[in-house]
Amino acid sequence: MNNKRILLVRLGGIGDVIHTLPLVKYLRKKYPVSSIEYLTSSSVAELLESYCPFINKVWRFNKKNKRQAGLDILKGENKIDYFFNLHSSLSFYFFNLFFVRARKFFQYKKDNRVHAVINFAKTYDPFVSAFELESKTLMDVEPDTILEKYNLHENKYICVVPGVGKVRMHRAWPFENWLSLTKKFLFVEKDFKVVFLGGEDERIFFDKSQDDNLMPGFKDRVVNLMGELSLTDTAKIISKSAKVISCDTGLLHLASALSKKVVGLYGSTLPKRTGPFTSDYQVLVAKDCKCIGGLWDLKKCKMTKLPKGFCMDSLTVDNVISNVIARSVSDEAIPSAFT
């Protein structure tokens, strides 16, 4: 029977949820008239509700009252047919057993040998290939008046995501490199602006009161929106940008799901596991990183034993900017004040 009620669950970060969306879209094609529902964190729920037309219903998970979450889901007329636990832990196995009681249960098993997108899709079909999965999983976003609010024009600005959150400092590229990259880009691409994006954790890097000191001469061409936007408004800004440059963060994967051009900077995490899942991307990998290739996402650098790794420093500003603009920009082409 094609008319089923399908429930998927994945909590956590933006990137983790976005990596599951090709599976959701794949299921929509398999079951075009079925109700596909998604249980997730409140922070991501609005994004799915707004920009994932192949999801019929988004449920917000309440960790303090799992029973109520289960009861809310069961208020529908039909029983859940398929339940997908997209966590490697068994916590939602018991959630299904005690509350949802779906007719068929699918358990995700983490496999670092394949890309996360394919790994999630194999929860349903162990023989699925990347060619069967679509990278564009968020529909085109109408920016409303947000571009006008910040004096931005479609495809005439790039987005820079300089932060990685407090617990992922080993993935970060030095902030002074982001500043140098921005200055060089603006010097060459005179018709463009640069928009800084990120959450509350990243706000500390770029204090608005210091904008003039950090970007002398470029004040009107740098838009600092770190810690200013909701996730849905961030999606609107990214959707109309020319390109996104980021380390391995949720916003990189958000851009990937919108099929934007992406330049990803990677160190300890594996691009083949969490690289951009899109047709138009470039990945730059730090040289000689001793932490890459492990089974687990390390929280500290093996070499320094500190949260911040040193391998990302091997990615030079010139190396990155040559992948951001149409032609390579060397230090000789840029005034010394910008290096």
For residue 293, the model assigns a pLDDT of 56
Q: Which residue intervals of 96-210 are DSSP H helices?
A: 116-121, 146-149, 175-188, 200-203
pLDDT of residue 303: 64
Fold of 146-338: Rossmann fold (3.40.50)
pLDDT (0 to 100) of residue 216? 73
Q: What is the pLDDT of residue 331?
A: 43
In degrees to the nearest 10, what's the CA dihedral of 212, 213, 214, 220? 20
Q: What DSSP string runs through 312-327? A: GGGS-HHHHHHHHSSS
Residue 124 is encoded by which pair of tokens? 């349903």
Q: Where do the domains of the chain lie?
A: 5-132, 146-338
pLDDT at site 339? 44
Who contacts 285 (Cβ-Cβ below 8 Å, separation ≥6)?
A: 266, 267, 271, 292
The full DSSP string for 229-295 is --HHHHHHHHHT-SEEEEESSHHHHHHHHTT--EEEEESSS-HHHHS--SSSEEEEE-TT-SSTT-S
Region 5-132: CATH code: 3.40.50.2000
Nearest to 201 by CA among 230, 227, 174: 227
Looking at residue 310, its amino acid is F
In order along its 339 residues, the chain shows pLDDT tens digits of 578 999 999 998 899 999 999 999 999 999 999 999 999 999 899 999 999 999 999 999 988 888 888 888 988 778 999 999 999 999 899 999 999 999 999 999 999 889 999 999 999 999 999 999 999 999 977 777 899 999 999 999 999 998 765 556 677 888 889 999 999 999 999 999 999 998 876 666 666 545 556 677 787 899 999 989 999 999 999 999 999 999 888 999 999 999 999 999 988 777 888 888 887 888 888 877 766 655 445 556 666 666 566 778 888 898 899 888 754 344 445 544 444
Say what the pLDDT of residue 336 is. 45
Q: Do the domains at 5-132 and 146-338 have one common CATH topology? A: yes
pLDDT at 294: 53
Q: Which two tokens stand for residue 316?
A: 């030079």
Alpha-carbon torsion, ordered 254, 258, 264, 270, to 10 deg? 70
Whether 304 contacts 206, CB under 8 Å: no
